[in-house]
Amino acid sequence: MELTHDLSAKNGSYAYLVVPNLDLEGFKAFKPDFVIIENDKKAQVIAGKTDAILMMVVYQPTIIKAKSFPTLSFENPGIYILERKEDHWLASIADPTQKLTNVNWKIAGKTQVTLMPSSVNRGQTIQVKIPFY
């Protein structure tokens, strides 16, 4: 598969969606179950339409504000998923660079320092339960 970027687009004013196993008619009828919250040099963020999940790829330090979610602040690049559970948030965090020993971030103003896997486990996803604030 090859994706060609629109070189005339200004400030990331476009986005790609890759949907496997759909023919053209299926794709025309496809209704995404997410909304794009942010798509720029700092982060790419989507939220599920049920307001239960927020998925983020963070490239630079940034603050994420999304409806129905607490304000999030990230110091480190990484891949983050925040899921609303019955009595807590579940954060899934991954460092695809496999270079970080910990990830520093905030949820609703509360600082979180998440230790990342080391040695042969570098790059694996860590899950953290966080109480509702």
Q: Write out pLDDT tens, residues 26-58.
A: 988 988 889 999 999 999 999 999 989 999 999
List the domain range (segments joined by +) for residue 115: 33-131
In a domain, 2, yes or no: no
Q: Write out pLDDT tens, residues 85-95.
A: 999 999 999 99
CATH code at 84? Answer: 2.60.220.10
In a domain, 58, yes or no: yes
In a domain, 25, yes or no: no
Global pTM? 0.85
The per-residue DSSP string of the chain comes to ------TT-STT-------TT--HHHHHH---SEEEEEESSSEEEEEETTSSEEEEEE-SSEEE--TTS--EEESS-EEEEEEE-SSEEEEEEE-TTS--SEEEEEETTEEEEEEPP-GGGTT--EEEEEE--
pLDDT-derived band at 13 (thresholds 50, 70, 90) equals low
In a domain, 6, yes or no: no
In a domain, 64, yes or no: yes
In a domain, 95, yes or no: yes
Q: Write out pLDDT tens, residues 101-130.
A: 999 999 999 999 999 999 999 999 999 999
In a domain, 62, yes or no: yes
